[in-house]
Chain A
């Protein structure tokens, strides 16, 4: 093992944010290497500050390093300034842990959280000194793996990545470690790369693109077929049945420089069955698996004490839906008190409310953030408590402007829910908030789009009852249909249409100075659309864009749709075919050979129901409608409460009007000096 640090160090004074490249996090591991260890380089193909907080990557980092037969380090995409220095100095991609060269690892595994990072994946493989195309790499080269939500349509990266992991990674990395370890011990002899790939293809949840032939019928995919009888025709996702068995990360990485989510994160449940039809995350992570509340408390207490953080985020796709969220939040806040109090240690927190603290005020400063709060959960009480935390932004996501359209996307939030939440926020001292909407949704008509402006306008009028400074930021995202959702057949709006809808909202807002309009670049939605539902032929487009210097396409200052259009033309592919047209019921979809657990029939029927304006209930609290996620896997929801916390399960006829009475309570943060005599004595 050789560290590249002495060669990297002189380059760092010349680049922006050099702390991106030093590692040094609390929780960083310094694994050893050896012939008996399968070494993984876990790569996040975007900048350090975006990639470091990624929980999936951190979980695998710990799990692998706990194994006696594996080691894991991390790498992130170097920003363009360092990349230029590295290329000039002949310095390859390196791990941030021991600054070892990427090509010394057995496996380089990428986390795919967004489509526009794909050109960075190619760039990282190239910076590692490897051929970007799998077929051209040699036997002893590292295997390139990938996982994460985008791996549910692996085809656009199929020519570059040796294997994909579909679904939860906790268990499958063990099997991969063992297979690759066995191969490593045989010396990775010439001609054996195909053998290890075939072995990997035999592991449940692992997709090896080289083991499949793709047949085309003109622009359409005719079939994707395994090359060998032992290779599965459809790769089914892996699902961890019980989150309680995986209390990770135990030692969350605490960075020494600023990152996008700089706080403790504890995953309280995985999966979501609200059934929002645009939401890929909700569809592919079913069923709902809650972490037991006692374990959450333990992870929060231990995590805060270890990290020194004063803020914890209770993570999930919709945290207000967690069974017993009120008790959990209360225990979290009081738990923080006890932990840092003079009692020390990790005593049980149940009796901790109101415990005074001889240490002064620091221990009272644990703030809890609940991401993905539904508006029907944001009550005056919640607003009052959250407002005491150091929380700058408040975002609500009605997603669509009209009730009609919200029924179509199955986001059953009433206007009253929204206004109630907004009123709560203004009444508790907020001056501004952000409302997030999608445009270009199926069946969206101009009145639906304009309704966005009306909602925003009504919100500012509510705000003016409380403050003259009341304002609202409306953020518009262009809808990109995602694989494995009911909307996967929908033809995406072209950028001109998305831009027109932005103008529509703007003119409907008139001269309302209290509403600030922001929108995601419609051109970026188009590029995302190419990759999101692309097939294997789109790989050439990604390579073209990368070769023309199109890295960091997630960054607006680096994004260039012209490059993507040029690449599509050069590869003879049509934007209309890949992005804008509606797809038919019998068409082979490029990701049909990847199983997300959802019956294709279910998705199609839900698509038809959507167009008919029918809602779909949440199967946590109403009978199973057999989408496939549980029934195909012999697993079930793991939910502690049989009752919907919001008092209503959408589409079930339960009373949604009272659905916003969520019993969430946060304890006020005590002000400085509380619990101890005042700071300046008297």
Chain B
């Protein structure tokens, strides 16, 4: 059951189960989380701080850096601009060596039968599991425990175990999926703007980079762009924008699509990496990972 939730990292789990000694290898927990509502206004460093505190609250056995001033070794995916929402943020937590117990050693309860067990402050956790959310007051999965420990609006939708020796998430992501709305743009105008945009060979826009205005052609970075609906602010667009050689943000498209208008809210929906079978996400939300807390944003 659990392996359905494990996405591309599932191999690590399988490998380790067949080679128990493999548990001593360096493993990471890869966590997918959201950032929606009021919490979208905290910065990237703030996200790191609240994540560190959440990991300590749950008591997850994460590894620390060596040295004079040991720090928790968290590594995040691509930074999300302050003010943007996201359904697809990722953080990897390197685990200490004996953190993951061989599932055969776990108690024979149904909850833990299908996956490795991770020791936490409030007891043992499975990385993630399927089925309806547990009604039990204690949090049976890392995902639930972390969601509870994180601020409102940041909820964990998937947790997988991955081999700690893989490339960093930041380097692996080649493009991001986005949804954003443009305030005051109606659907018809949006459709025409998108068609014009896609038909153009080059689209040069300006942005401020390190205090200087830089212009560049963003057309090659736009892999997908379409109108997908309407919010109470205006037309909602969906886009896939490349992350290399630099990350293009949805806000950079708005001057080209609707020069006089402002972007409403942008939400990252995906971070794509290349997998063995085409593009893939670092971790895919499990069915059970409904938000148990509603964002407070209207």
- A: residues with CB less than 8 A from B are 3, 5-6, 9, 12-13, 18-19, 21-26, 254, 256-258, 262, 305-310, 340, 342, 344, 358-363, 365, 388, 390, 669, 671-673, 676-682
B119 within 8 A of A: yes
Inter-subunit contact A19/B46 (CB<8 Å): yes
Known: A19-B43, A359-B61. A681 touches B25 (CB 8 A): yes
Say yes or no: B38 contacts A24, CB within 8 Å.
yes
Q: Chain B nearest CB: distance from A174 CB in Å?
A: 30
B59 at the interface (CB under 8 A from A): yes
Can you name 13 A-B pairs with beta carbons within 8 Å?
A24-B42, A256-B42, A306-B57, A307-B53, A342-B119, A359-B119, A360-B96, A362-B62, A671-B67, A672-B66, A676-B96, A676-B98, A680-B97
Beyond A254-B53, A344-B122, whether A360 also contacts B61 by CB under 8 A is yes
| A258 adjacent to B49 (CB under 8 Å) | yes
- Other A-B contacts than A256-B42, A258-B49, 17 sampled, CB-CB below 8 A, are A5-B38, A9-B298, A12-B83, A18-B41, A19-B43, A21-B41, A26-B151, A307-B53, A308-B53, A359-B119, A362-B60, A365-B64, A672-B63, A672-B70, A673-B63, A678-B97, A679-B63
Residues on B with beta carbons closer than 8 Å to the beta carbon of A342? 119
- B298 near A362 with CB under 8 A, answer no
Contacts of A5 in B (CB 8 A): 38, 296-298
Q: How far apart are the CA atoms of A23 and B149 in the complex, in Å?
A: 16
Interface-centre pick from B38, B52, B62, B149 (highest chain A CB count, 10 A):
B38
| 5 nearest A-B residue pairs (beta carbon) | A308-B53, A681-B24, A360-B96, A672-B64, A308-B57
Instruction: List the A side residues contacting B70 at CB < 8 Å.
Output: 361, 365, 669, 671-672
B56: contacting residue among A6, A24, A308, CB under 8 A:
A308
Instruction: Compute how far the CA of A175 lies from the CA of B77 in the bound complex, rounded to whole angstroms.
Output: 53
How many contacting A-B pairs (Cβ < 8 A)? 133
Taking the nearest CB of chain B, how far is it from the CB of A283, in angstroms? 38
- Bound-state Cα–Cα, A603 to B45, Å: 49
> Are B46 and A256 in contact (CB-based, < 8 A)?
yes
Contact B72 A390 (CB under 8 A): no
| Cβ–Cβ contact A362 & B119, under 8 A | no
Residue with the highest number of chain A CB atoms closer than 10 Å, among B52, B60, B65, B296: B296
Tell me which residues across on chain B come within 8 A of A307, comparing CB atoms.
53, 57
Interface flags, B259-298, vs A, CB<8A=1, else 0: 0000000000000000000000000000000000000111
B61 touches A362 (CB 8 A): yes
Q: CB within 8 Å of A: which of B221-256?
A: none
Q: In this assembly, does B54 line the interface, its C-beta being within 8 Å of a C-beta of chain A?
A: yes
B contact residues, range = 35 or more
Cβ–Cβ < 8 Å partners of A669 in chain B: 70
Pick the residue among B39, B99, B296 that contacts A256 (CB under 8 A): B39
Contact with A along B9-43 (1 / 0, CB 8 A): 00000000000000011100000000000110111
* B82 interfacial contact with A, CB 8 Å: yes
B50 touches A256 (CB 8 A): yes
Write the B71-87 contact mask toward A (1 if CB under 8 angstroms, else 0).
01000000000110000
Minimal beta-carbon separation of B32 from chain A (angstroms): 19
B192 within 8 A of A: no
> Which chain B residues border A254 with CB–CB below 8 Å?
53
Instruction: Tell me the minimal C-beta distance from B164 to chain A in angstroms.
Output: 9
Complex Cα gap A363–B121 (Å): 10
List, in ascending order, chain B residues with CB within 8 A of A306's CB: 57
Q: Does B69 contact A (CB under 8 A)?
A: yes
Q: Which residues on A sit within 8 Å (CB–CB) of B83?
A: 12-13, 18
Once bound together, how far apart are the Cα atoms of A21 and B121, in whole Å? 32
- Is the beta-carbon distance between B57 and A258 smaller than 8 angstroms? no
CB contact under 8 A between A344 and B119, given known A257-B43, A672-B70, A679-B96: no
Query: CA–CA, A388 to B123, complex, Å?
Result: 30
A340–B41 CB distance below 8 A: no
Q: Are B97 and A24 in contact (CB under 8 A)?
A: no
B53, A19: Cβ atoms closer than 8 Å: no
Give the chain A neighbours of B258 by CB distance below 8 A. none
Give the complex CA separation of A3 and B60 in angstroms.
37
Our pick among A13, A19, A680, A682 for the contact of B42 (Cβ within 8 Å) is: A19
> A310: nearest residue on chain B (CB-CB)?
B56
Interface code B185-222, partner A: CB below 8 Å = 1, 0 otherwise? 00000000000000000000000000000000000000
CB < 8 Å neighbour of B72 from A18, A305, A362 = A362
Interface of B is mostly: loop
A681-B97 contact given A23-B38, A256-B39, A360-B63, CB 8 Å threshold = yes
Q: Is the interface of A mostly helix, strand, loop or mixed?
A: loop
Question: Is A12 a contact of B64 with CB atoms below 8 Å?
Answer: no
Are the C-beta atoms of A12 and B97 separated by less than 8 Å? no
User: For the complex, what is the distance from the CA of A308 to the CA of B49, rounded to whole Å?
Assistant: 10
Is there an interface contact between B297 and A681, defined as CB atoms closer than 8 Å?
Answer: no
Asked if A679 contacts B94 (CB within 8 A), the reply is: yes
Cα separation A646 to B191 with both chains bound (whole Å): 77
B119 near A256: Cβ-Cβ < 8 Å: no
Q: Which of B55, B57, B67 counts the most chain A CB atoms within 10 A?
A: B57
Query: How far, in angstroms, from A23 to B37 measured CA to CA in the complex?
Result: 12
| CB closest chain-B residue, reference A30 | B296
Q: Across the two chains, which residue of chain B brings its CB closest to A390?
A: B69
- Contact residues in A for B45 (Cβ distance below 8 Å): 258
* A262 CA / B151 CA spacing, docked (Å): 16
**List of A residues within 8 angstroms of B62 by Cβ:** 360, 362
Chain B, range 122-174, C-beta contacts under 8 Å to A: 122-123, 149, 151-153
Q: Are B96 and A305 in contact (CB under 8 A)?
A: no
Task: Give Cα distance in the complex from A523 to B149, angstroms.
Answer: 47
Contact partners of A362 in chain B: CB under 8 A? 55-56, 59-62, 64, 72
B60, B69, B152: the one contacting A24 at CB < 8 Å is B152
Counting chain A CB atoms within 10 Å of each CB, the highest count among B50, B62, B64 belongs to: B64
Known: A254-B53, A256-B151. A361 touches B63 (CB 8 A): yes
Q: Are B119 and A24 in contact (CB under 8 A)?
A: no
- In the complex, what residue of chain B is closest to A262 when comparing beta carbons? B49
B96 close to A673 (CB less than 8 A): yes
A23-B38, A677-B97, A681-B25 in contact; A344/B297 too (CB < 8 A)?
no
Question: In the complex, how many angstroms separate the beta carbon of B80 from the nearest chain A beta carbon?
Answer: 13
Contact partner of B59 (CB less than 8 A), chosen from A3, A13, A359, A678, is: A359
CA distance in complex: A5, B297 (Å): 8
A340 touches B82 (CB 8 A): no
Q: Pick from B49, B57, B64, B149: contact of A361, CB below 8 A.
A: B64
Q: How far is the CA of A526 from the CA of B25 in the complex (A)?
A: 64
Contact A9/B46 with A23-B38, A672-B64 known, Cβ cut-off 8 Å: no
The residues of B that contact A12 with a CB separation of less than 8 Å are 41, 83
By a CB distance below 8 angstroms, the chain B residues around A358 are 98, 119
8 Å CB contact of A22 from B39, B61, B67, B94: B39
Nearest CB on A from B207, distance (A): 15
* Distance, CA A678 to CA B63, complexed state (A): 9
- Nearest chain A CB to B233's CB is how many angstroms away? 9
Q: B38 to A22, Cβ gap below 8 A?
A: yes
Contacts A256-B42, A256-B151 given; does A308 touch B52 at CB 8 Å: yes
B151 to chain A: which residues have CB within 8 Å? 24-26, 256
